[in-house]
Amino acid sequence: MPTDVHGHGLCAIVFGGAGFIGTHLLAHLKATSRYSRLISYDIRAPQRPVAGVDYIIGDVREPIRLAGELAGAEIYNLAAVHTTPGHEDWEYFWTNVLGATHVCDFASRIGTSFLLFTASISVYGPTEEPVDERTPPAPVSAYGRSKFQAEGIHRSWLENGADRRLVIVRPAVIFGPGEGGNFTRLAGLLAKKRFVYPGRKDTIKSCGYVGELVNSMEFARGLGRREFTYNLSYPERTTSETICQAFAKVAGFAAPTRVVPLKLMLLAGFGFEVLGKFGFKTSINRERVWKLVRSTNILPTALVEAGYTYQTDIESALVAWKQASEGRFT
């Protein structure tokens, strides 16, 4: 087992470890037996705790204070405010930028030599044309801008130490057991035969399975490069229709066929916004409708060129999710 600078067993700290991706990452790190101690540092308690992980409640918006033998600990920074829409613009910067500053300051203080940061494909903005890591970022949302700024903070940390290594992963929409997000909501609508295509069927939605994301993180760490920035999405172009058809095949849902005009969907979104002003709880609004109709056409060029081999595609990933969740997409 690797040791830190004092000869102790190597420790890993996962900021944001209580969340969906953090839980899967910690389970993987536990299985590798590479670390003598695993710490999750998160503002909330885990819903699916991993045995053997030290769960510490903490807020990255405040300076990081952790005790114990942590010299040289490797850091995985997943902490973020990410739901869009769902927050005021300032909230994304408060957590994502200030949090990056505090994590990198902490990494400097304890002598971390390896740091992995999860950014987002939101740094590119929505795009119909394919983009990859060589494409200049052009974020249009507060979330995307905050993540791009956080990337710069992590790169500044890298530049201030010759022995440091940094991996930045820009995940697309990630799905799998415990997600509770876009794919889970889609599965629920498909099961109830309530899903309709907003305006079009061919919206490109780059995505990836959570197990694939964790595997890619391990692969990127193993490359040993001083800096490696990569997108995580399936290489194949995945449309809204492709995703729905995969769900239909794997889960037995009826494949949706109806396309509702975009203007009508936007009008309905506005109506729900008005109802929200009167206390009616709903997640439907015009911004969410626009998210459904705008493509995110992201290519994982850097990962493929580095030699990464995908273990799943959209269909086999849904099969794995279904099996892991006892037949449910939760």
Report the pLDDT value the prediction gives residue 55, as an integer from 0 to 100.
Answer: 98
Backbone conformation region of residue 279, classed left if phi is above 0, alpha if psi is from -120 to 50, else beta: left
Question: Buried (b) or exposed (e) across 269-294, using 16+ Cβ within 10 A?
Answer: beebeeeeeeeeeeebbbebbbbbbb
Residue 167 resides in a domain: yes
Residue 72 resides in a domain: yes
Residue 163 resides in a domain: yes
Task: Enumerate residues 6+ apart whose C-beta is below 8 A from 152.
Answer: none
Which residue range forms the structural domain that includes residue 63? 11-179+206-234+299-308
Report the pLDDT value the prediction gives residue 23, as an integer from 0 to 100.
Answer: 98
Residue 126 resides in a domain: yes
DSSP character at residue 49: P
Report the pLDDT value the prediction gives residue 7, as an integer from 0 to 100.
Answer: 39
Residue 263 CA to chain centroid, in angstroms?
A: 30
Residue 65 resides in a domain: yes
At 88, list the tokens: 């005021």
Per-residue pLDDT of the chain (330 residues; tens, 9 = 90+): 555 443 357 999 999 999 999 999 999 999 999 999 999 999 999 999 999 999 999 999 999 999 888 999 999 999 998 666 566 887 989 999 999 999 999 999 999 999 999 999 999 999 999 999 999 999 999 999 999 999 999 999 999 999 999 999 999 999 999 999 899 999 999 999 999 998 899 999 999 999 999 999 999 999 999 999 999 999 999 999 999 999 999 999 999 999 988 888 878 777 776 777 777 776 667 777 767 788 999 999 999 999 999 999 999 999 999 999 988 898
Residue 60 resides in a domain: yes
Count of other CB atoms within 10 angstroms of residue 127: 17
Give the domain CATH number at 87. Answer: 3.40.50.720
Residue 316 resides in a domain: no
Report the pLDDT value the prediction gives residue 316, as an integer from 0 to 100.
Answer: 98
Task: Enumerate residues 6+ apart whose C-beta is below 8 A from 109.
Answer: none
Give the number of domains in the chain: 1
Residue 17 resides in a domain: yes
